[in-house]
Amino acid sequence: MANVILKLERSVASRIAAGEVIERPVSAAKELIENSIDSGASDIRVALEQGGKTSIVIEDDGCGIPRDQLPLALERYATSKIRTLDDLERVSTLGYRGEALSSIAAVSRMELRSMAAGETSGGMIRCEGGLITACADMPAAPGTRIQVDDLFYNLPARRKFMKSATTELKRVIQVVQDYALVHPGIRFRVSNDGKPLIDIGDANSTDEVLTALWGEESRSVKAAASSGEASVSLWWNNLPGSRRVNVTSFVNGRRVQDATIRAALNSTGGSIYGEWIAMVAIPPEEVDVNIHPAKAEIRFRKSGAIFELVRKAASDLLLSGGGFSARPEASEGQAGMPLDPWENYVPPVGPMKNQQGWQASRPETTPAKGRGGASEVGEPLSSAWDKLSDLPARKYLGQAQGGYLVFDDTRGLCLVDAHAAHERILYEEIEDSYSGRQVPSQQLVLEQEVPSAIIAAVGLHWDELAAMGFSFRIPGDEGHDTETAVMTALPALRGLGRLSPVEMLRSALRGIEEEDDPSKRDREVWWRWARTACRDAIKLGAVLGPEEALSLFERLERCRSPYSCPHGRPTTIFLAGEKLRSWFER
């Protein structure tokens, strides 16, 4: 017999509905922050305990809620933002359903204090598990203060699924930083367990906020495109060595996940690794925001037009930021070129490094030469290697075609891309000096202030950074009277001399946060340092003297993978003497 259909009790139904909207602490923080933004706030403060698992407090200086409407504000589907079905077709606010406060109240112990603009006193209302326990007039600061304690205290199963306090804190910080981008004029402050972590915003533009988040050293580029009433703005931070694509999308100021925007970026055909910010502005009636319980997704009514608009802006941005290349990026050790780039070239004897350490080595075979110098069958002629030492030394001839180094070698002509060669040298120097062991610290003569945008991340990964060689002093330490954390020491690694301390710190944090496996994080970090240091390589076109050019070539030959830079581009092109004689019919 079929089970009898019964209407759920209100307490059960409210918790089911709340679970769709509020999944974890960051969900509650996001909804409350969005309400603060809608209220016209210019200052939003977020205070957490245990990353929001114990307590979340959101304060703002917005328009506030009239004290006689506080009980109504906790009712489901009670909202001041829409009135009719037509309003739902052109939503211009972040909130509109009237579900956030009621959902949070249903699964926590919540207190709301507010004073509306124009009133001389405010009010307070408390509820527990969705039931109002107190409501009274009370002095309050202009704006609204909401405190959420013991989230999911009445849903033990949901509480078990919450992550660690550190993980939950990182998610809240990410939401705050994202909304600071799209609302740069609002000041956002975040603290956890009484410690201030973030003070960001209160800026004139998104670019200023991005500078605080990405750093002044970032190589970010920007592009925009528009068509009719629709427009898109893109920012791209082409992180050196990044192997992921992080896209943060906003549509009419709403933080969303959208497949159309990501597909448009992927369709450009360029290398889009790095961090992307995409902001789409479109008439409200051209987008459906009411398709996801947590309002995390939207649907464009004309997705094809948005696709083309984003694609155009991304193509322009990639061209200006170097995202297109004729050769696809190759993985380490697979440069997409022959092991012996000039087919019959044998490099001079030089120290080579194997797993046991540095030692002299020489090839066991030398290729036999067919017509035109092409390799045919390897011939075990160890004496051929010895004969090379009797030939005239390599001569540096000069630079050609915009800066390529030209050498007359014992076996032919060599053309060297000085920039790519220096990248390879720096990369392997850093790898050799790190090599997975404890790295010594180097004290900074001038302490470096830690940017406010990454202070929170430093606090979260304090022990891992210390193991890598970083050292910091924070407010409250002996002899440290300022309100800002400073870096006092950093890893002492060869090849990173011209990399700024803050840039080293940012690269380390990106590596730690991107690699989930703790056993692999060290390698991820040095790999990022090495890729970032490539920016300090000699620029193509820089004038080198004969001694500098010859020294660079010798250092390149001592590398384990001398024929390609870390990005997969060739460092050296060889033209064998046999080929030259063949072409000139000698």
The CATH number assigned to the domain with range 10-201 reads 3.30.565.10
User: Cβ neighbours of residue 69 under 8 Å, at least 6 residues apart?
Assistant: none
Structural contact between residues 144 and 49, judged by C-beta atoms closer than 8 angstroms: no
**For domain 428-536, which CATH number applies: 3.40.50.720, 3.40.50.740, 3.30.1370.100, 3.30.870.10?**
3.30.1370.100
pLDDT at position 293: 65
Token match 């490539």: residue?
Answer: 534
pLDDT at position 336: 40
pLDDT in tens, 323-338: 554 333 333 333 344 4
Per run of 10 residues, the mean pLDDT along the chain (length 586 residues) is: 65 59 87 92 95 94 90 82 69 75 90 90 91 90 93 84 86 92 94 89 90 77 90 84 80 87 83 87 85 73 89 84 45 40 41 35 35 34 37 76 85 87 82 64 83 80 83 71 78 66 82 70 67 71 87 87 79 83 80
pLDDT at position 561: 82
Please report the sign of the dihedral spanned by the C-alpha atoms of residue 411, residue 416, residue 420, residue 425: positive
428-536 matches 350-417+540-583 in CATH topology = no
pLDDT at position 428: 79
User: Cβ neighbours of residue 426 under 8 Å, at least 6 residues apart?
Assistant: 495, 530, 533, 534, 536, 537
Give SS3 for 382: helix
Rounded to 5 degrees, φ, ψ at 180 are -65, -30
pLDDT at position 62: 93
Give SS3 for 159: helix
Structural contact between residues 360 and 349, judged by C-beta atoms closer than 8 angstroms: yes
pLDDT at position 526: 66
How many whole angstroms separate alpha carbon 528 and alpha carbon 505? 11
The CATH number assigned to the domain with range 218-321 reads 3.30.230.10
pLDDT at position 338: 40
How many whole angstroms separate alpha carbon 256 and alpha carbon 300? 12
Residue type, 253: G
pLDDT at position 181: 92
DSSP states along 490-517: EE--TT-TTS-HHHHHHHHHHHHHH---
**Structural domain spans, the chain:** 10-201, 218-321, 350-417+540-583, 428-536
pLDDT at position 341: 44
pTM for the structure as a whole = 0.65
Q: Rounded to whole angstroms, what are the CA distances from 518 to 171, 368, 515?
A: 19, 49, 7
Fold observed for domain 350-417+540-583: formyl-coa transferase, domain 3 (3.30.1540)
Q: What is the dihedral of CA 434, 437, 441, 442, to 10 degrees?
A: -30
pLDDT at position 505: 85
